[in-house]
Structure 1
Amino acid sequence: MQLSTIHVKVSGVTDNIRHIRRAKDYTQAYMAQHLDISQTTYSNIESGSVALTLDRFLAIAQILDVDTKELLAVPMPENNFPAVDQSFED
């Protein structure tokens, strides 16, 4: 199996890509042009309709000028842990 055929299947990755792309004010057409694919194909990548290959994932990170860890990051919900009673009695 070639490295380029491994698919990135991490929940939220395409949401992170979309969020960062929009924050940088990049259009889908801009991303597609730099990836040498159609805008429709790029849109399908962001929507999850088309598998995101590792090669494309790495290229997207490079275009967005972010570390791949940033694209893989899963936001931590607030109050993720139960409250801890910090009152100790001796």
Structure 2
Amino acid sequence: MIWVAATLIAAAAQTGRNAAQAGLGGRIGTIGATAVRFLFGLPFALAVLAATALIGAVPTPGPAAIGHAALGAGAQIAATALMLLTIVGGYYL
């Protein structure tokens, strides 16, 4: 049952992050807020990769995996920009 509490906390954190980014998007624009969101996470991702490499071998992905990851990353960035555009622009469903 701890997953219920974890899910509620995660949903609240996601809502707070989106609200904070909407405010940021109003000041620096949709593209700027999207860039901040992903560039802020980059050092953490690199730190996790480095920690994983210290623990054991990190597998090398093949070209297909890299292509799929790039496609997914692009879709995530585009979706974030569109979400912020609707929030900042006041286009609520």
Tell me the TM-score normalised to structure 2 length. 0.26
Structure number, greater radius of gyration = 1
Task: Select the structure with the greater relative contact order (CA < 8 A; seq sep ≥ 6).
Answer: 2
